[in-house]
Structure 1
Amino acid sequence: MSQGRAMIPPGSTIGILGGGQLGRMLATSAAQLGYRCHIYAPEPDSIAAEVSHAFTQAEWSDTVSMAAFARACDVVTYEFENVPVTPLLTLGTVPLLPHPRALETAQDRLTEKQFVQGLGGTPAPFAPVDTLAELDAAIAAIGLPGILKTRREGYDGKGQWRIQSAADVEALDLSAQPLIYEGFVDFLAEFSVILCRGADGQVRYYDSARNVHENGILALSTIPAGEPIASQVAPARELAAAVAEALDYVGVLTLEFFATEHGPVFNEMAPRVHNSGHWTIEGAVTSQFENHIRAICGLPLGEPGLAASIAEMRNLIGDEAAGWADILADPANHLHLYGKGEPSPGRKMGHVTRLVL
């Protein structure tokens, strides 16, 4: 499993681990550049496979299927960070980009925060928690309010418990899985740094979006972000670049931050294209998806700058996608429906980007 640096020409096959909407948008950008995509996912219904050349439906633990998938690909990437690392050893010599050490770092919230802290970043106060006694000790040291999270998996608000008082602790039924307690951050705004690092080490940054979450799910990203975010982007980018360098990263990398009165506070990282960068499909000269394909294939990176004066991306969650006709009635809107089945609360069914030129 070596990190390849040679150029992989159009006409080659890109393997994508994961079959969701990020894989779908990666495959669409890859096709535009002349590549074929091969999706590997455990789920039988893959919206990424619908727009791809080939699809292997198999469990992550199926080493025979994983090895056969690898033999059919010229380079492999992933669309989400919860792909188990151990089965990836069966990929053999096909390049896997970004390097799996990025997965190992991002999959454990404790490891992730310790890693970023070691690079000079400032995360929220945190402590590992495996027992109720350790939770009590963490609360005594860090204070209330805070958030108890699973160390592994969990996204869009899942696997998280907000703790406001001792009564909230008494109501908890701690699972056997490792947890982490994080102190509450008194933030002014939320933002993300999205960069793309090429195989030659060149780094390009996208404009940082002001992100608004509702019920733990990203609802809105707006560019330009304005203050106080604008004045905190530079140190946040510096940390993101240090993370990419330390991981010998190739591809798109996202770090999420809180803008506070004392500067940017690191929240979490995603070693992949990111929801807060969906606006780049129409709103940037080169989208995050195209630049990720360019990077892993060793191609020159594209210009990430804004293609409009204002870009706003809103997620369509649950039954919000049912209003597609009204959305399209505004000629400034760009609608993306992911082709998923029935909507359900909290499920991302699509997004809409509105540009002001």
Structure 2
Amino acid sequence: MKVGILGCGQLSRMLALAGWPMGFRFSFLADPDEPVRCVEGLGPVVRQDGLMTARDVYVAMGSPDVITVERESVCVPLLRQLKTFCPVYPDPEIVWAIQNRHREKTLVADLGIPLSPWEVFREHEPVQEAIARIGGFPVVIKSTEDGYDGHNQWVIDNSEQLEAFEKERETLLQKPASKGIHEWIVEKKIVFDREISVIGARTSNGNIVMYTSGENHHNKGILVHSVIPAPDLSELLHNKARDYISRLLQETGYVGVLAVECFVAGNELLVNELAPRVHNSGHWTMDGAATSQFENHLRAIASLPLGSTAHQGGVVGMYNLLGQKHSDDSRVPDQFIAQGTYLHWYNKISRPGRKLGHLNILAENEEELGGSFESLKSQWT
């Protein structure tokens, strides 16, 4: 089977690496200036330009049997047009809904799944009124689009911080429409105990599998490490997480892997974000589950039986190797490979905060895993 992937980052790389042993072959569509090092040698890369029609793209990619995405920030009109040539999963309308926080939250709320209180405001609309409607400070303001890993997000605890945001908003509004930000949501800042994520996959005929929920730890909006299973997660919360993702998969007719990030606040579970793709918090499945999220995504979009998601062993950890400085040095840090530790390297140029690779660690218990995390933190600087 020939699979076309929109995007050339590490998620495309890991999808292709999972699919090659299964007999899948891949092609990739790159934006005009997108780096393609991650997918070098894994299939043809088509560099998109403004003159290419959807038919041109489809033919240049080798007329794939199915097309998928590795990120939300794709051209949905192109996806819709490509759907006339072959199946596109997840469906372009789902990608369209989730790539915008306003539409995403509306989708979740319409399914009766709880969220933090939120409001939307545009351009010069007064944000103070929106803040008042959700109960006042503290709040978090996020652009509805082009926000990831903490980008285009503002934590507002008081009037002084709001004034600083207002000044920045004026600057953003002065940019050309194609580059500026013109819509935001404001959310009540929730005092939560921790964040968990749950990942599931669904085929076109409605079969669903779900992975063990993991606990995520962030720094400045970037995922640093995950622990699986989420420590001491109650059966109540475990069932809520499974219910949320099941409803999202079924009610939308979703095909492929979906990730749902949630805040745990006591016995409440509030959805934070969705990702219509394989997800960083699911990278542990490459070594800690019977079937990885990448293989199950390919199985789902190819209408093949889904693989077992059984959790392997005791405790699994995933640790992101984030860039510390600008550097052309992309040498593999093989010093971290040890018994029970598995390195996945993305072949990227280093820059601060950039995800260069990750380590999956299989441990006997949480104490052992915590020691491994501390050791990695001290060495990866």
Partner of 1:55: 45
Displacement of 1:66 in angstroms is: 2.1
Alignment pair present for 1:135 and 2:127: yes
Partner of 1:66: 57
Q: Which amino acid aligns with 1:34?
A: G
Partner of 1:327: 336
3-state SS, counterpart of residue 138 of structure 1: helix
Displacement of 1:309 in angstroms is: 1.2
Residues 251 and 295 of structure 1 are in contact (CA less than 8 Å); yes or no, is this contact kept in structure 2?
A: yes
Residues 253 and 270 of structure 1 are in contact (CA less than 8 Å); yes or no, is this contact kept in structure 2?
A: yes
1:298-317 mapped onto 2 (5 Å cutoff)? 298-317=303-322
Alignment pair present for 1:83 and 2:74: yes
Whole-Å separation in 2 of the counterparts to 1:246 and 1:61? 37
Q: Which amino acid aligns with 1:15?
A: G
Whole-Å separation in 1 of the counterparts to 2:276 and 2:15? 14
Whole-Å separation in 2 of the counterparts to 1:44 and 1:128? 31
Residues 285 and 303 of structure 1 are in contact (CA less than 8 Å); yes or no, is this contact kept in structure 2?
A: yes
Alignment pair present for 1:349 and 2:339: no
Residues 140 and 186 of structure 2 are in contact (CA less than 8 Å); yes or no, is this contact kept in structure 1?
A: yes
Whole-Å separation in 1 of the counterparts to 2:43 and 2:302? 17
Residues 29 and 289 of structure 1 are in contact (CA less than 8 Å); yes or no, is this contact kept in structure 2?
A: yes
Q: Which amino acid aligns with 1:80?
A: R
CA displacement, residues 262-295 of structure 1 (integer Å, 9 cap, x when unaligned) = 4100101000000000000010000000000011
1:46 corresponds to which of 22, 33, 36: 36
Alignment pair present for 1:160 and 2:153: yes
Displacement of 1:231 in angstroms is: 3.6
Partner of 1:17: 6
Alignment pair present for 1:124 and 2:116: yes
Q: Which amino acid aligns with 1:345?
A: P
Whole-Å separation in 1 of the counterparts to 2:23 and 2:183? 44
Alignment pair present for 1:248 and 2:253: yes
3-state SS, counterpart of residue 198 of structure 2: strand
Residues 70 and 94 of structure 1 are in contact (CA less than 8 Å); yes or no, is this contact kept in structure 2?
A: no
Q: How many residues are paired up?
A: 344
Whole-Å separation in 1 of the counterparts to 2:125 and 2:5? 42
Partner of 1:108: 100
Q: Which amino acid aligns with 1:150?
A: S
Displacement of 1:21 in angstroms is: 0.3
Alignment pair present for 1:233 and 2:242: no
Whole-Å separation in 1 of the counterparts to 2:188 and 2:62? 46
More divergent stretch after superposition (80-89 vs 59-68): 59-68
Whole-Å separation in 1 of the counterparts to 2:125 and 2:80? 38
Q: Which amino acid aligns with 1:351?
A: H
Alignment pair present for 1:150 and 2:143: yes
Q: 1:66 to 1:120 in 2, by over 3 A?
A: same
3-state SS, counterpart of residue 285 of structure 1: coil
Displacement of 1:29 in angstroms is: 0.8
Whole-Å separation in 2 of the counterparts to 1:140 and 1:61? 47
Partner of 1:289: 294
Whole-Å separation in 1 of the counterparts to 2:19 and 2:348? 21
Residues 236 and 267 of structure 2 are in contact (CA less than 8 Å); yes or no, is this contact kept in structure 1?
A: no
Partner of 1:318: 323
Partner of 1:9: none
More divergent stretch after superposition (253-262 vs 167-176): 167-176
Residues 252 and 272 of structure 1 are in contact (CA less than 8 Å); yes or no, is this contact kept in structure 2?
A: yes
Partner of 2:176: none
CA displacement, residues 228-274 of structure 1 (integer Å, 9 cap, x when unaligned) = 46541211221111111122111100110001114100101000000
Whole-Å separation in 2 of the counterparts to 1:229 and 1:50? 43
Residues 336 and 351 of structure 1 are in contact (CA less than 8 Å); yes or no, is this contact kept in structure 2?
A: yes
Residues 254 and 272 of structure 1 are in contact (CA less than 8 Å); yes or no, is this contact kept in structure 2?
A: yes
Q: 1:229 to 1:32 in 2, by over 3 A?
A: farther
Displacement of 1:322 in angstroms is: 7.3
Alignment pair present for 1:217 and 2:222: yes
> TM (normalized to structure 2)?
0.86
Task: Let me know the Cα RMSD of the aligned residues.
Answer: 1.9
Q: Which amino acid aligns with 1:31?
A: W
Whole-Å separation in 1 of the counterparts to 2:219 and 2:155? 14
Partner of 1:340: 348
CA displacement, residues 18-60 of structure 1 (integer Å, 9 cap, x when unaligned) = 1100000001111010010001111453134314221111147
Q: Which amino acid aligns with 2:69?
A: Y
Q: 1:123 to 1:233 in 2, by over 3 A?
A: same
CA displacement, residues 83-106 of structure 1 (integer Å, 9 cap, x when unaligned) = 121122331231101111110110
Runs of 4+ in 1 over 6 A off after TM superposition: 320-323
Whole-Å separation in 2 of the counterparts to 1:78 and 1:229? 34
Q: 1:69 to 1:182 in 2, by over 3 A?
A: farther
Larger RCO of the pair (alpha carbons < 8 Å, separation 6+): 1
